[in-house]
Amino acid sequence: MKVTILGATGLLGKVLMREWQGDEVVGLNSRDVDIRDPDNLEEVVEKTRPEWIVLAAAYTNVDECESHPDLAFGVNRDGAVNVAKAAQQIGAKLLFLSSDYVFDGKKTSPYETGDARNPQSVYGRSKAEAEVRLLEVLPECCIARTSWLFGTGGKCFPDTILKLAETRPALDVVDDQRGSPTYTVDLARAIISLCRAQASGIMHATNARDCSWFEFAREIVKGARLTTEVRPVSSQQMARPAPRPAYSVLSSKSLQHYGIAMPTWQDALQRYLQERKN
Ligand SMILES: NC(=O)c1ccc[n+]([C@@H]2O[C@H](COP(=O)([O-])OP(=O)(O)OC[C@H]3O[C@@H](n4cnc5c(N)ncnc54)[C@H](OP(=O)(O)O)[C@@H]3O)[C@@H](O)[C@H]2O)c1
C-alpha cells in the first residue's frame, strides 16, 4: 500500500513515520507542500499517487488560533478541503485528524461520534467546519478525532510538567477540565489499523479512561518519582485566550467496531516516561 503522511514532522507525524512498517510511506512537512496551496498540493499528490493520505498537518496552537483566525481556518479548514479535493482527483482515501474541541464540553458522559458539534474556540471551529466540508467533498473519508496528545519528539503536557517539576517546589494545574490523554504511539497504531481496514466515517481515537489535567500532572510527577507538590486550581484561576471544553471524553465504540482497543492513559504514560528516559 502507498501512503502519504502530511504533517510528518509533527508530534504525531513523526511517530506515524516510525511505526508504519511494511507499506510504502512518504512523509511531507510544510516545506515540502503547503496545504493552503491547491496547485502545489495537486502536483505533490499526483507525483506520489498514494492509496491513503493521512492528514496530520494542522495549525495546532489553540491559544494562538484565537488571535490568528485567518491562519487557523486557512490551514485547518481550507487546507483540509484542498487535500480532500486532491485525494478525490487521484482516487485516494483520506484520514483526517480532528479534535475533541469540536464539542462544547457540556456533556457528562462520553461523546459519541454522532453527537452535535458545538465548538467554543477558533481552533475547534476550524476543525468542526473542516469535518463538515470534508464529508461533502469525500463522503467516504475517515475522520479520527483525538485529544490531549502526548509523546516524545515535541512539546506536550507531560514534557512541560516534568521540566517545571524539576525546578519548582509546587505546580498549580486545572482540575475542572476532563479528557483522555492520548499517546502518539497508540494513536499511530490505531490510525495504521484503520487505514488497513479501509475505515470510513467518524472515529473517536483516544487512550482509554479519563482524568483532569491535575490528575494527569499528579500521575506524571509520581511516575517520574519527583516530589513536587501538584495543586488543583480552577480554569478561572488559570485564564487562557481559548476556552477549553470542561468535559471532552470521547466514546470508544467506533474503534471497537474495527476491533481496535486502545490501552489506558496510565499504561501509555508509563511507556512514554520510559521512552523519554531512553
Ligand atoms: N496535539 C494535540 O493535543 C491534538 C489534540 C487533538 C487533535 N490533534 C490533531 O492531531 C493532528 C496532529 O497534531 P500534532 O500535535 O502532531 O501537530 P504538530 O506537532 O503541531 O505538527 C503539525 C504538522 O503540520 C505541519 N504543517 C503546519 N502547517 C502546515 C501547512 N500549511 N502545510 C503543510 N503542513 C503544515 C507541520 O509542518 P512543519 O514541521 O514543516 O511546520 C507539522 O508537520 C493535527 O491535526 C491536530 O489538530 C492534536
How many CB atoms are located within 10 Å of the residue 47 CB? 9
Residue of minimum CA distance from atom 7 in ligand 1: 99
Q: Residue 201: which pLDDT band, with cuts at 50, 70 and 90? A: very high
Minimum mean pLDDT among 1-5, 55-59, 164-168, 270-274: which range?
164-168
How many CB atoms are located within 10 Å of the residue 267 CB? 15
β pairing state of 93-99 and 182-183: unpaired
Task: Report DSSP state, residue 229.
Answer: E
Ligand 1 mean position to 11 CA, how many Å?
Answer: 7
Cβ(99) – ligand 1 distance below 6 Å = yes
Cβ(9) – ligand 1 distance below 6 Å = yes
Which atom from ligand 1 is nearest to the alpha carbon of 148?
3
Residue 239, pLDDT above cutoff 90: no
pLDDT (mean) for 60-65 = 97
What is the pTM assigned to this prediction?
A: 0.98
pLDDT (mean) for 50-63 = 98
pLDDT (mean) for 180-207 = 98
pLDDT (mean) for 26-50 = 96
Query: What pLDDT, on a 0 to 100 scale, did the predictor assign at position 91?
Result: 97
Place of cell 496545504: 35
Assigned C-alpha cell, 233: 486550581
Cβ(248) – ligand 1 distance below 6 Å = no
Report the DSSP beta bridge partners of residue 241: none
Ligand 1 mean position to 227 CA, how many Å?
Answer: 33
Cβ(7) – ligand 1 distance below 6 Å = yes
Condensed to tens digits (0 to 9), the pLDDT of residues 101-110 reads 999 999 999 9
Query: What pLDDT, on a 0 to 100 scale, did the predictor assign at position 174?
Result: 97
Which atom from ligand 1 is nearest to the alpha carbon of 74?
31
pLDDT (mean) for 132-160 = 97
Which atom from ligand 1 is nearest to the alpha carbon of 57?
24
Q: Are 190 and 16 in contact (CB under 8 A)?
A: no
Query: What pLDDT, on a 0 to 100 scale, did the predictor assign at position 159?
Result: 97
pLDDT (mean) for 133-141 = 98
Mean pLDDT value across the chain = 97
Query: What pLDDT, on a 0 to 100 scale, did the predictor assign at position 172?
Result: 97
Query: What pLDDT, on a 0 to 100 scale, did the predictor assign at position 238?
Result: 87
